[in-house]
Amino acid sequence: MPKHGLIEFDAVLAIARRGSFRAAALELGLSTTALSNVIGKLERQLGVRLFNRTTRSVSLTDAGRNFVDHVGPAVQTLHDAMGAARSQQETPSGTLRINAFATGAREVLGPLLLKFLRRYPQVHIDLVTEGRIVDIVAEGFDLGLRSADLVPSDMIAIPVSPPRSFAVVASPAYFEANGKPRVPTELLRHSCLRIRLPNGALHRWQFEKDGQPVQIDVQGPITLDEASLSRITVLNHVGIGYFMESDVREDIEAGRLVRVLEDWTPSLAPLCLYYPSRRNPSAAFKALIGMARSPAR
């Protein structure tokens, strides 16, 4: 949602940052029409056009660029001041925006975020999942969630997950018909699910044993870019899949899927919530950080 008292400025900065009225409206929790009306009103007050608009694109005018350059730092200072005032409240409330990748979000949703919401019902969490790694400060997020080895060095990171690993799995029926691979190279004679990364590249399955890494460019009948689709596919006996272990843990425990090559999939870096150093954090922010740091939760 737009921050109280600064909607016109937040609107301009969000459109400039996103390059789209629609994307900025989603970020601010407004309809596209409402956002357009806010910008139109501001442009009439200023007497200049801030954006060039076509049916396909939005770009800043020269006046718009000058406006953003001058207003951006001032708006951040005002938000900091308002945040400092809100931080004095005793009851956590308001919105926390978190950027994460989908698998990581699934891992912490129940154990951390939903538990947090039950404890602090006046807080709203806006959780955005995407494959790309974003600048959480520039994109307007309070926190990010990524593997520890992907957290920027200038951020404060809090581990929030148990040990993690990949898992290579298929249905019992598939392995009964085709046998089990004993080493990663034997995957090349199996039907495997190919994985497309957010940048469009095909993922090579990663393995390691005794300090020796191995990458396998598997082959198979289907390429997918979402773990839930891959899970459905392996459960239907199409082939072998490569997952975060947490995404198929229940299927393995129930016997719906069988794990192989476990000794080739060592532990990975833990998931971390991360954030920039900040003065006067809100009560909601402090409460979530405190819960994340607590071993008991």
Taking only the tens place, the pLDDT of each residue in 155-210 is: 999 999 888 899 999 999 999 999 999 999 999 999 999 999 888 889 999 999 98
Query: Tens of pLDDT along 136-153?
Result: 988 889 999 999 989 999
Q: Which residues contact 151 (CB under 8 A, 6 or more apart)?
A: 144, 157, 272, 274
CATH number of the domain located at residue range(s) 166-264 in this protein: 3.40.190.290
Residue 284 pLDDT: 92
**The domain made up of 94-161+270-293 is a member of CATH 3.40.190.10:** yes
Q: pLDDT: is 271 or 278 the higher one?
A: 271
In the chain, CATH 3.40.190.290 covers 166-264
Query: Tens of pLDDT along 27-66?
Result: 888 888 999 999 999 999 999 999 998 777 889 999 989 9
Give the pLDDT mean for 130-136. 86
Query: Tens of pLDDT along 53-111?
Result: 877 788 999 998 999 998 888 888 887 777 767 665 678 988 999 999 988 999 899 99
Give the pLDDT mean for 219-248. 95
- Mention the CATH class of domain 7-86: mainly alpha
* Secondary structure of residue 195 in the 3-state scheme: strand
Give alpha helix (H) positions in the chain: 7-18, 21-28, 32-46, 62-86, 102-108, 115-119, 172-178, 227-235, 245-254, 283-293
In the chain, CATH 1.10.10.10 covers 7-86
Check whether 1 has a pLDDT greater than 50: no
Residue 297 pLDDT: 61
Residue 191 pLDDT: 97
Residue 3 pLDDT: 47
User: What are the tokens at 160?
Assistant: 């929030």
Predicted structure pTM score: 0.65
Task: Tell me what the pLDDT averaged over the chain comes to.
Answer: 90
User: What are the tokens at 52?
Assistant: 């060039």
Confirm if 205 and 218 have CB atoms less than 8 A apart.
Answer: yes
Strand partners, 124: 95
Spatial distance between the Cα atoms of 112 and 106, rounded to a whole number of angstroms: 10
> How close are the terminal C-alpha atoms of the chain, in Å?
28
Residue 78 pLDDT: 83
Q: What are phi and psi of 52, to 5 degrees?
A: -90, 125
In the chain, CATH 3.40.190.10 covers 94-161+270-293
Vertex 252, ends 247 and 256: CA angle to 5°? 105
